[in-house]
């Protein structure tokens, strides 16, 4: 049996951190074992053990952008009640007598009084919304007492099983690291309002959790694996605390997570993502064929490819949720963008080198230094780009596809253990009493018993209810074929299966509004052309509009009796289904997706000709035919015989011939204009050749003139340099003479300064002598006067 990995959390003797349940959820891991056993923690031995089995009946659309998916699930929860009082179950005397006297019987009840009896109070933890109403019922099964146990008439040990089927939308945290080669887990987390001290949820060790792979909506985008993984964990109750021994204790709830695995089909993203990015990047290497002396062309083309790659990346990211890590496609796109940026930088560098060190005479030669450098850069970058692809391919096969190989291995283990489990488990159909429930699914699941244990079906004609023995362990499955199945189409909300048709005539009667016309529209929906091209609004109008919510998808399936091999398929019965949703309109042939053209060709081969619309006769048409004039009946006979279609085809052919003749005349005029244009182009071609010839001569002359001018300029430069050297020597001689004259001038200035000082001293002495002379004259005059 396929068992689950049991996660033990804090509060036990072993030391490890508890699992965090804030806003994320860890993915479960699965282990395949042969003899699973139930081991309970030591501190939880008084808790009730609830054994759960879940069946994925239908997996709907997986919404990667919003991280959610649709599913139709059915699960059973079993627990043991000791000494249950049968008088509290509101059983009728026949059912109570069956429990008391019968050999291992089971009885169905619709409700279990929660005020009197214990129930696990289960709910879906990751459910977002429910579609329609869920079906819920209970079954009571007597446990055979041992020799030391006594069972009275009013109390006994019983096994209570809660059955529940629901359709809804479920949240799932998608791991997109390996996108688009990722494998996702579609999890249903079943939890209880009870705490772990009162209730423990475990996988049922006798009945397997399974999945119906055939009823999978997104088969073209995803591949569903067969095995089912389970995980036992606990969730913290963040909003409630109990005050015990002056401390706050955080309560925990048991959780059983049942997950199926789906692998994305990556072909679409390989061709429309990786391939296009690869082509854009490879085109950037073609730019090296442009000469390095044309940087404007190189940079323009490279920048255009860079902007194209960035825009393409944003377009691809619209189909993914906003995540904080990079997917495989993101890494590849970013690497390609970086390659383009490096190429832009190199083209700028080579342009700068050509500008700073121009050499026009030898720039276009293959042995030019810059040309050789550009060639080696091309070899290096292209080699790096090739190595990156080799490494990425090896990584894809080693990491993402390794997980897919592990899933395939688990599928093989699951299939092997399934046969062992079917051979060793006890019979589930040994009860002589039947339990009725409503028919739901349209395919056999893997829980069917061996052929020797097949139950006998009983059918009630009053309420459209099917009967299957011991429904506590069987998922509602349709067994009959050769009919019509409708679900979600117009007034048919739930799946409705019409019984096999008679080989002669079948009449549908009923009151107004009971769905007779919608049944007729359902037949037309699959077989006729009236619903061939439906818009999104048209598809929504055909889906059931409920009081609470609208059906998200609808399908009609017609099962044909092919015992006469009219349909070219080697099967006794052929099922044709058309399924629509808000975004898709798919056809299925024996539960496999096919094209609409294949269905039309198959039906035409079986006699449903599109040229004869009278294999479906609408209401009131027979009266109209019977009372029609002879000309109209003749026209009708021609239509039924199929001859009218040839008249229509003849008119179509004549119209096509007239249109073809008109087009032929237009083509002749166009050919005449093209011939005239070709003559003028031929003249222009000769002129262009002469122009190219003289242009090459001109470029050669210009190159020769440029070379001669360069030689003359070099000679003039040498003469100027020689003259400049002679002038430099004269300047140096003059500079030496200037220094000598400067020294002489300085000495003369010093002599003049010294003479000026001496002159000033003599003037002072002269003035002193004059003053003394005056004084002497005055004394002399005074003496003379005396």
Cβ-proximal residues to 388 (8 Å cutoff; 6+ apart), any chain: 335
For 268-401, CATH gives 1.20.58.390
Per-residue pLDDT tens digits for 178-229: 999 999 999 999 999 999 988 999 999 888 899 988 888 888 899 999 999 9
Least confident of 119-123, 235-239, 542-546, 625-629: 235-239
Read off the pLDDT of each residue in 535-564 and give the average, rounded to a whole number.
82
C-alpha distances in Å from residue 201, one per residue of 47, 189, 204: 10, 11, 9
Whether the pLDDT of residue 720 is over 80: the answer is yes
| Cα–Cα distance, 737 to 586 (Å, whole number) | 108
Read off the pLDDT of each residue in 657-673 and give the average, rounded to a whole number.
90
C-alpha distances in Å from residue 397, one per residue of 76, 178, 271, 329, 404: 39, 11, 18, 15, 10
Question: Domain boundaries in the chain?
Answer: 2-265, 268-401, 480-610
Whether the pLDDT of residue 604 is over 80: the answer is no
Residue 618 is predicted with a pLDDT of 67
Rank 334-348, 491-505, 550-564, 598-612 by mean pLDDT and report only the highest. Answer: 334-348
Least confident of 101-115, 223-237, 356-370, 640-654: 356-370
Read off the pLDDT of each residue in 270-281 and give the average, rounded to a whole number.
93
| Cα–Cα distance, 747 to 754 (Å, whole number) | 11
Higher pLDDT, 19 or 765: 765
The pTM assigned to this predicted structure is: 0.50
Beta-bridged to residue 460, according to DSSP, are: 465
Residue 475 is predicted with a pLDDT of 31
Whether the pLDDT of residue 717 is over 80: the answer is yes
Beta-bridged to residue 556, according to DSSP, are: 486, 578
Read off the pLDDT of each residue in 319-342 and give the average, rounded to a whole number.
90
Contact assessment for residue 482 and residue 561, using Cβ atoms and an 8 Å cutoff = yes
Burial zone of 507 (CB within 10 Å; 0-12 exposed, 13-18 middle, 19+ buried): exposed
Residue 454 is predicted with a pLDDT of 35
Read off the pLDDT of each residue in 111-133 and give the average, rounded to a whole number.
88
Long-range contact pairs involving 389-397 (C-beta distance under 8 Å, separation at least 24): 392/332, 396/181, 396/328
Rank 10-14, 101-105, 311-315, 732-736 by mean pLDDT and report only the highest. Answer: 732-736
DSSP H or E segment with residue 269? helix 267-269
Contact assessment for residue 476 and residue 483, using Cβ atoms and an 8 Å cutoff = no
Contact assessment for residue 257 and residue 124, using Cβ atoms and an 8 Å cutoff = no
pLDDT-derived band at 545 (thresholds 50, 70, 90) equals confident
- CATH topology for the 480-610 domain: Rossmann fold (3.40.50)
pLDDT-derived band at 432 (thresholds 50, 70, 90) equals very low
Read off the pLDDT of each residue in 512-537 and give the average, rounded to a whole number.
81
| Cα dihedral 714, 719, 722, 725 sign | negative
Contact assessment for residue 287 and residue 298, using Cβ atoms and an 8 Å cutoff = yes
| Cα–Cα distance, 55 to 127 (Å, whole number) | 16
Rank 225-229, 467-471, 601-605 by mean pLDDT and report only the highest. Answer: 225-229
Read off the pLDDT of each residue in 737-766 and give the average, rounded to a whole number.
92
Residue 133 is predicted with a pLDDT of 82
Read off the pLDDT of each residue in 611-639 and give the average, rounded to a whole number.
72
Whether the pLDDT of residue 609 is over 80: the answer is no
Read off the pLDDT of each residue in 271-292 and give the average, rounded to a whole number.
92
Secondary structure, 3-state, 67-112: CEEEEEEEEEEEEEEEEEEHHHHCCCHHHHHHHHHCCCCEEEECCC
DSSP H or E segment with residue 706? helix 644-785
| Cα–Cα distance, 644 to 587 (Å, whole number) | 30
Q: Is 2-265's fold the same as 480-610's?
A: no
Per-residue pLDDT tens digits for 353-395: 888 877 654 555 667 788 888 899 999 999 999 999 999 999 9
Mean pLDDT, the chain, as a whole number? 79
**Using the 8-state DSSP alphabet, how is residue 145 labeled?**
P
Class of domain 2-265: mainly beta
Per-residue pLDDT tens digits for 46-99: 789 999 999 999 999 999 888 999 999 999 999 998 888 777 777 777 777 777
Share of the chain above pLDDT 70, in %: 78
Share of the chain above pLDDT 90, in %: 36
Residue 527 is predicted with a pLDDT of 82
Residue 419 is predicted with a pLDDT of 55
Read off the pLDDT of each residue in 319-340 and give the average, rounded to a whole number.
90
Per-residue pLDDT tens digits for 408-427: 999 988 887 765 555 454 44
Residue 642 is predicted with a pLDDT of 60
């Amino acid at each position: 049996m396929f068992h689950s990995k049991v996660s033990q959390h804090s509060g036990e003797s072993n030391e490890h951190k508890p699992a965090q349940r804030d806003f994320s959820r860890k993915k479960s891991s699965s282990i395949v074992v042969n003899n699973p056993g139930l081991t309970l923690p030591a501190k939880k031995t008084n808790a009730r053990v609830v054994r759960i089995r879940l069946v994925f009946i239908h997996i709907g659309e997986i919404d990667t952008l919003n991280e959610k998916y649709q599913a139709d699930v059915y699960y059973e929860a079993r627990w043991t009640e000791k000494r249950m009082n049968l008088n509290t179950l509101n059983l009728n005397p026949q059912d109570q007598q069956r429990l008391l006297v019968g050999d291992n019987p089971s009885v169905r009840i619709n409700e279990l009084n929660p005020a009197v009896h214990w129930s696990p109070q289960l709910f879906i933890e990751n459910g977002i919304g429910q579609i329609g109403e869920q079906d819920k019922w209970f079954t009571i099964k007597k446990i055979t007492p041992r020799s030391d146990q006594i069972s009275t008439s009013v109390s006994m040990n019983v096994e209570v099983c809660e059955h529940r089927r629901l359709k809804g939308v479920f949240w799932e945290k998608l791991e997109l690291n390996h996108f688009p080669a990722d494998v996702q887990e579609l999890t249903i987390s079943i939890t209880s309002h009870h705490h772990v001290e009162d209730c423990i949820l475990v996988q049922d060790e006798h009945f397997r959790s399974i999945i119906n792979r055939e009823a999978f909506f997104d088969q073209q985008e995803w591949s569903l694996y067969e095995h089912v993984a389970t995980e036992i964990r606990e969730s913290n109750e963040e909003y409630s605390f109990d005050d015990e021994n002056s401390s706050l204790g955080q309560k925990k709830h048991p959780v059983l997570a049942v997950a199926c695995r789906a692998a994305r089909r990556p072909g679409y993203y390989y061709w429309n993502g990786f391939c296009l990015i690869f082509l854009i990047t490879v085109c950037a290497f073609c730019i090296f064929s442009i000469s390095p002396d044309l940087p404007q062309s190189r940079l323009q083309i490279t920048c255009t490819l860079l902007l194209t790659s960035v825009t393409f990346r944003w377009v691809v990211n619209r189909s993914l949720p906003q995540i904080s890590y990079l997917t495989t496609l993101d890494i590849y796109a970013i690497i390609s963008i970086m390659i383009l940026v490096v190429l832009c930088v190199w083209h700028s560098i080579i342009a700068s080198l050509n500008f700073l060190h121009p050499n026009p005479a030898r720039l276009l030669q293959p042995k030019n230094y810059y040309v050789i450098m550009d060639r080696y850069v091309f070899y290096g970058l292209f080699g790096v780009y090739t190595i990156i692809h080799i490494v990425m391919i090896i990584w894809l096969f080693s990491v993402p596809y390794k997980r897919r190989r592990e899933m395939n291995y688990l599928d093989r283990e699951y299939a092997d253990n399934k046969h062992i489990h079917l051979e060793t488990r006890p019979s589930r159909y040994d009860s002589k009493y039947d339990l009725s429930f409503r028919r739901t699914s349209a395919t056999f699941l893997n829980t069917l018993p061996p052929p020797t244990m097949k139950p006998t079906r009983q059918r009630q004609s009053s309420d459209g209810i099917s009967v299957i023995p011991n429904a506590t362990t069987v998922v509602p499955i349709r067994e009959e074929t050769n009919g019509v199945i409708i679900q979600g189409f117009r007034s048919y909300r739930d799946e409705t299966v019409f019984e096999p048709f008679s080989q002669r005539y079948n009449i549908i009667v009923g009151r107004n509004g009971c769905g007779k016309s919608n049944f007729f529209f359902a037949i037309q929906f699959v077989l006729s052309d009236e619903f061939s091209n439906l818009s999104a609004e048209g598809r929504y109008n055909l889906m059931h509009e409920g009081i609470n919510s609208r059906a998200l998808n609808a399908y009609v399936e017609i099962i044909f009796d092919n015992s006469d091999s009219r349909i070219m398929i080697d099967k006794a019965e052929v099922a044709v289904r058309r399924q629509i949703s808000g975004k898709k309109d798919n056809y299925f042939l024996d539960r496999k997706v096919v094209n609409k053209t294949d269905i039309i060709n198959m039906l035409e081969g079986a006699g449903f000709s599109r040229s004869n619309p009278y294999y479906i006769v609408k209401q009131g048409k027979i009266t109209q035919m019977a009372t029609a004039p002879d000309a109209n009946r003749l026209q009708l006979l021609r239509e039924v015989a199929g001859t009218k279609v040839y008249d229509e085809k003849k008119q179509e052919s004549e119209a096509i011939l007239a249109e073809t003749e008109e087009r032929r005349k237009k083509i002749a005029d166009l050919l005449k204009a093209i011939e005239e244009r070709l003559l003028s182009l031929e003249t222009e071609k000769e002129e262009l050749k002469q122009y190219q010839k003289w242009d090459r001569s001109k470029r050669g002359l210009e190159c020769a003139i440029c070379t001669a001018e360069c030689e003359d300029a070099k000679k003039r430069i040498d003469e100027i340099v020689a003259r400049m050297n002679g002038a430099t020597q004269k300047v140096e001689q003059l500079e030496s003479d200037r220094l000598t004259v400067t020294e002489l001038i300085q000495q003369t200035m010093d002599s003049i300064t010294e003479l000026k000082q001496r002159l000033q001293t003599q003037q002072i002495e002269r003035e002193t002598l004059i003053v003394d002379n005056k004084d002497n004259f005055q004394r002399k005059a005074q003496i003379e006067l005396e």
